[in-house]
């Protein structure tokens, strides 16, 4: 039961006991809140910003979803379930959240982006086509890739509307009795006095619950410093929306979402949708911009736009018109760029979730189901062995954590070196992708 009282300055103060508390009501937290409420749990969601908000990694009108997955073939099984759950949420919300355009994963013939995507399509028997750069241009004239590049076209790719997905999950959870508090920052959490539950203190109150889910995105290193400090590191990203000179080439029916590995780095993009402009960005935007989420530069500068425009001018010249918008968001990167989904070391009543590294939103629907499983029973029917926090050798036996911690000294430099190596083409090893020599040619 929740208690509410009005204190000095007009602020409302709260308290109460729940079956579960979810800290961070963004992509993953809102989905976890929904799945717990769907199971009849008394659940509280705590969010330091608004719902939705533009301070993290879940804004910008569109997020890519794709089945062919060069990051690791094992993600495909989770993606199949994610698609099912997104469609269920659409039916419940009464609005379209997922739009199908097809997806392009392209790069040099021996690149890990093309070959990893093709391997996942072959392994999971996904419908697909392999096109040369010239063939891709004839099919989709907006694309101007080098003629010798190869592109995997998978027809079921597309994009999600991230803000509306979060709202849909939250409202569906509230309809089932979930309680949500926005603009309420968590200050401290730890086990309850008896040791079996948890206690969470915020700016506005103190709460208790049987289980706790930490899903605070770029702030996970601060909320769980002993487990994730220096492991989940925030990185500044910039997105551009440019007005196409030939708008008809960039409509959803004529322009698949893309992931491209080119000479300048790895880029992703979308058709024009919802707001003016063809949207795109670069993974690990300017490489060096890593650190604490509250200290990252939120302003857009000329160098951001210049780098993005140079990419568009070369590979999408008909899309390189006037700038419509430039926005800053964040990635939260792990050392191997895979997710973290696990029980907190030494505290089985606490679940940690950091699906991250720039490719997590599409999984939110199924990650919410997984987090609810872990909070319910400590296990999930989904295989999450790739995402265990133990692969980073965290400290064990931790009994509490305060929401105030900086990454260890040198974290940014180490992650920057890993990022540079990734751009240099060594991600096959870092991501555990299939090596090029392990994949037979698809033609």
Cα separations in angstroms, 297 against 9, 273, 403, 407: 32, 27, 21, 17
Of the residues 35, 42, 61, 63, which is catalytic? 63
Is residue 113 within 8 Å of residue 259, measured between CB atoms? yes
Strand partners, 325: 241
What are the φ/ψ torsions at residue 266 (nearest 5 degrees)?
-110, 125
Of the residues 236, 329, 356, 419, which is catalytic? 329
The DSSP letter of residue 296 is S
User: Is 80 one of the catalytic residues?
Assistant: no
Residue 143: name the closest of 282, 266, 256, 272 by CA.
256
User: Is 41 one of the catalytic residues?
Assistant: no
- Rounded CA gap, 348 and 345, in Å? 7
User: Is 138 one of the catalytic residues?
Assistant: no
Neighbours of 258 (CB within 10 A): 29
Of the residues 38, 39, 59, 87, which is catalytic? 59
Of the residues 362, 418, 419, 431, which is catalytic? 362
Neighbours of 8 (CB within 10 A): 6
- Rounded CA gap, 6 and 22, in Å? 24
Of the residues 279, 282, 338, 418, which is catalytic? 279
User: Is 359 one of the catalytic residues?
Assistant: no
Of the residues 164, 284, 285, 338, which is catalytic? 284
CB within 8 Å of 385: residues ≥ 6 apart: none
Of the residues 42, 48, 62, 419, which is catalytic? 62
Residue 369: name the closest of 390, 353, 388, 350 by CA.
353
User: Is 137 one of the catalytic residues?
Assistant: no
- Rounded CA gap, 377 and 171, in Å? 25
Half-sphere exposure of 58 (CA within 13 A, CB side): 30
Catalytic residues: 59, 62-63, 279, 284, 329, 362
């Amino acid at each position: 039961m929740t208690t509410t009282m009005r204190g000095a300055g007009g602020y409302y103060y709260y308290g109460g006991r729940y079956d579960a508390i979810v800290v961070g009501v963004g992509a993953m937290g809102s989905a976890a809140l929904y799945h717990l409420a769907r199971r009849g749990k008394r659940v509280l969601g705590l969010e330091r910003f608004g719902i939705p908000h533009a301070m993290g990694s879940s804004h910008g009108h569109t997020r890519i979803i794709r089945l062919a997955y060069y990051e690791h073939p094992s993600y495909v099984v989770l993606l199949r379930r994610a698609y099912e759950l997104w469609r269920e949420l659409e039916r419940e919300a009464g609005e379209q959240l997922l739009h199908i355009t097809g997806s392009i994963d392209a790069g040099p013939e021996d690149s890990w982006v093309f070959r990893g995507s093709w391997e996942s399509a072959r392994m999971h028997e996904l419908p697909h086509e392999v096109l040369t750069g010239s063939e891709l241009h004839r099919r989709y004239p907006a694309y101007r890739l080098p003629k010798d590049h190869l592109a995997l076209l998978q027809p079921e790719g597309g994009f999600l509307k991230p803000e509306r997905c979060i709202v849909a999950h939250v409202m569906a959870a509230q309809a089932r009795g979930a309680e949500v508090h926005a603009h309420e920052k968590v200050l401290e959490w730890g086990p309850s006095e008896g040791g079996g539950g948890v206690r969470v203190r915020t700016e506005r109150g103190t709460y208790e619950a049987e289980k706790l889910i930490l899903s605070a995105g770029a702030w996970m290193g601060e909320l769980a410093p002993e487990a994730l400090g220096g492991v989940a590191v925030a990185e500044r990203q910039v997105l551009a929306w440019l007005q196409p000179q030939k708008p008809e080439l960039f409509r959803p029916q004529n322009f698949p979402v893309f992931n491209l590995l080119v000479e300048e780095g790895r880029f992703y993009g979308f058709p024009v949708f919802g707001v003016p402009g063809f949207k795109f960005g670069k993974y690990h935007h300017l490489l060096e911009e890593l650190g604490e989420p509250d200290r990252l530069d939120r302003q857009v500068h000329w160098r951001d736009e210049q780098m993005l425009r140079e990419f568009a001018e070369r590979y999408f010249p008909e899309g390189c018109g006037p700038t419509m918008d430039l926005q800053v968001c964040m990635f939260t990167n792990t050392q191997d760029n895979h997710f973290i989904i696990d029980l907190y070391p030494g505290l089985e009543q606490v679940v940690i979730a950091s699906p991250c590294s720039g490719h997590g939103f599409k999984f939110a629907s199924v990650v919410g189901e997984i987090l609810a499983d872990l909070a319910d029973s400590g296990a999930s029917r989904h295989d999450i062995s790739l995402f265990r926090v133990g692969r980073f050798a965290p400290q064990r036996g931790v009994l509490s954590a305060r929401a105030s911690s900086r990454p260890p000294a040198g974290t940014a430099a180490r992650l920057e070196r890993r990022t540079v190596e990734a751009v240099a083409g060594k991600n096959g090893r870092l991501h555990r992708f299939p090596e090029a020599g392990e994949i037979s040619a698809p033609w």
